[in-house]
Amino acid sequence: MLAAFAGLGGKQGIFECMLDTYQLKPMQVLVLGDNSDSEILAGNRLGMRTVETLRAGVPRADNATFYIYSLSELKELLTSLENNKE
């Protein structure tokens, strides 16, 4: 799917195109990434909630909404977000 958005000016351009194409609001999207200067920053700029996957040798950034160590933690995070919907 990401190939369809190639050439759109980096991660932020890709995310903007996805929001527009799928008629999503930023709070309906959860950006998952391990790079605070790439996908996390782009998601934050657009008002999306962000999840940084923490890995050995890479310092934790302070700009993500949520942090996980493993993708196995993602289901619990999604369930928690769903249960806390307004």
What would the mean pLDDT of 3-22 be, rounded to a whole number?
82
Q: How far apart, in whole angstroms, are the C-alpha atoms of residue 63 and residue 85?
A: 22
Tokens 């391990």 -> residue: 34
85 pLDDT above the threshold of 70 = yes
Q: How far apart, in whole angstroms, are the C-alpha atoms of residue 82 and residue 19?
A: 20
Q: What is this structure's pTM? A: 0.83
- Bridge partners of 68, per DSSP, are 53
Walk across the sheet containing 66-68 and list its strands.
30-33, 49-53, 66-68
3 pLDDT above the threshold of 90 = no
- How high is the mean pLDDT of the chain? 89
pLDDT interval class at 8 (50, 70, 90): low
Q: What is the 3-state secondary structure (H, E, C) of the chain?
A: CHHHHCCCCHHHHHHHHHHHHCCCCHHHCEEEECCCCCHHHHHHHCCCEEEEECCCCCCCCCCCCEEECCHHHHHHHHHHHHHCCC
pLDDT interval class at 57 (50, 70, 90): confident
pLDDT in tens, 31-43: 999 988 999 999 9
